Structure 1
Amino acid sequence: MDRGCVIVFLALFTLSDAASQTVNQELSDIFNELWKLDVNRMKAGTDYNISLQGKAGYIPQGSRSAVDHASSPLFSLVDETKLSSITTYARFMKLLDNYERSTGVAEKVTTDEVTENNSFLDAILETTVMKRAHQYLVNKGKSRSDLRQFKSQLYYIWFRLYHRDRNGGEDSSGFEHVFVGETKFGREIVGLHNWVQFYMQEKQDLLDYKGYKSTHLPDEDDHVLNVQFSWHGLIKPVASAFVGVSPEFEMAIFSILFLTSTEKTTTAVVNLDEYQLEMVVHRQGRSIGTAYPKLLSSNSRHM
């Protein structure tokens, strides 16, 4: 297994935290199936490289400044030819400029953007990852077997607009929050849990990686770390995201977690490959409000 296929940007957790939580074996099993089916996952050292550099300091939530402990970007290499040649990535990247960054500003969705949303869903539904996720949800009685109905279900939970800031119009969606990122009240970064968006924003000099945050010195081959960054002049002390995985993999696991629970906030501890993660999904009505992983430990540390 290529450990470079996944990075998790995360908050700090101790071994006792991991040991105190019960692993959801059923979700672990299906997520590992999807992991093995994710043929579009990028390989660290081949398809992308990261540069960890210095250790970032403590920054309170809402702070606008941070000492920069990384003079270079986090991503020192990404094979953009591969990104653009894989249909799901190519269609995913077309969606990243479709949103107003600030909450409180009503989104205006054009017919072209609706077409792009549908084209992206069409692409991921053709992958083995999403086909297996669909089958699992049908077997659980959470989705219909008809593919068109499943696509409509995914559209609603990910792309339906809703109010995040009650002072404005419909200003947010699950997709925007999780994969694109938003700024709230002009004071803080919310969301932005996707590695491709992180890289693209970094490339445009809109996002500045400030360094890693962890209790131990990370190994770039380990690819499990805490990071800090600024985006459009705001600081995010810690963010969490997979890196290297395909868009369909993330859509699949978070859709499963969302649809198999009715809780306002759903958390589940899973063993995924060699990592133990706490998966978090928060609902906004019948749509996704946010979704992200938290690293509890790697197998080498909790075994």
Structure 2
Amino acid sequence: MKDGTDVDQAQVTNALNQLVQLDARLDSDTVIDYQNMASHKDFSHDNAPKPFFTSANENALNGPTYKALSNLIAFYNNPDANTAEVMTPAWESSISAFLDTVIQTPVMQSARTFLIGQGLASSDTATFKNQLHSLWFTLYARSTAAGSS
């Protein structure tokens, strides 16, 4: 697989715009305040101080993706960066269920098609799921304890 450094910027922009259009819930269930992009120089200044979501339809929270995310978030309850997290079978199962749900969405299917076309993701579903797992859920040290992510 390639490393992604030679992906054309226009192709990335087109792919991202397509993802927004595929997100059927975006326009109908939420109101978003995009504000301004984050500063790359002054991290103490917030260019987007207001909430990103100004309103959201609570019925949208009953969908499979939100339910899987909610089940997953329940495992992220250790704010202490000096204490290692312990990955339990239940936590791992919740991650797997979330990935299974996300992979089935039109947004992720489009993203995956783009990444496969660029040589950046596997066309094998199990391998792609493992790639996402590695990118999104590998524990790392935020401070002194490994796995305090």
TM-score band, normalised by shorter chain: 0.7 to 0.9
| Number of the residue aligned with 1:120 | 98
Secondary structure of the corresponding residue to residue 72 of structure 2: coil
Paired residue type of 1:29? N
Greater share of residues in strand? 1
1:171 corresponds to 2:148:
yes
**Structure 2, unaligned runs of 5 or more:** 1-7, 33-42, 45-49
Alignment of 1:16-27 (within 5 A): 24-27=9-12
Taking every aligned residue pair, what percent have the same amino acid on both sides?
30
Task: Give the number of equivalent residue pairs.
Answer: 127
1:91 corresponds to 2:68:
yes
Alignment of 1:265-284 (within 5 A): none
Change (3 A) 1:163 1:122: same
Paired residue type of 1:171? S
Alignment of 1:125-204 (within 5 A): 125-165=103-143, 167-172=144-149
Secondary structure of the corresponding residue to residue 41 of structure 1: helix
Distance 2:97 2:131 in 1: 15
TM-score (norm 1): 0.38
Alignment of 1:105-116 (within 5 A): 105-116=83-94
Residue-by-residue CA offset, 1:77-105 (whole Å, 9 max, x unaligned): 53322212x11111111122212122122
Distance 1:159 1:110 in 2: 13
**CA shift for structure 1 position 49:** 6.0
TM-score (norm 2): 0.73
Change (3 A) 1:90 1:42: farther
- Root-mean-square deviation (CA, aligned residues, Å) is 2.6
Match for 1:37 among 15, 22, 26?
A: 22
Greater share of residues in helix? 2
**CA shift for structure 1 position 108:** 1.4
Secondary structure of the corresponding residue to residue 83 of structure 1: helix
For the Cα contact (< 8 Å) 2:115–2:121, is it kept in 1? yes
Structure with the bigger RCO (C-alpha within 8 Å, sep 6+) is: 1
Distance 2:57 2:31 in 1: 9
Secondary structure of the corresponding residue to residue 122 of structure 2: coil
Change (3 A) 1:171 1:126: same
Change (3 A) 1:141 1:77: closer
**CA shift for structure 1 position 120:** 0.7
| Number of the residue aligned with 2:5 | none
**CA shift for structure 1 position 110:** 1.5
**CA shift for structure 1 position 125:** 0.7
**Structure 1, unaligned runs of 5 or more:** 1-22, 51-59, 62-69, 173-303
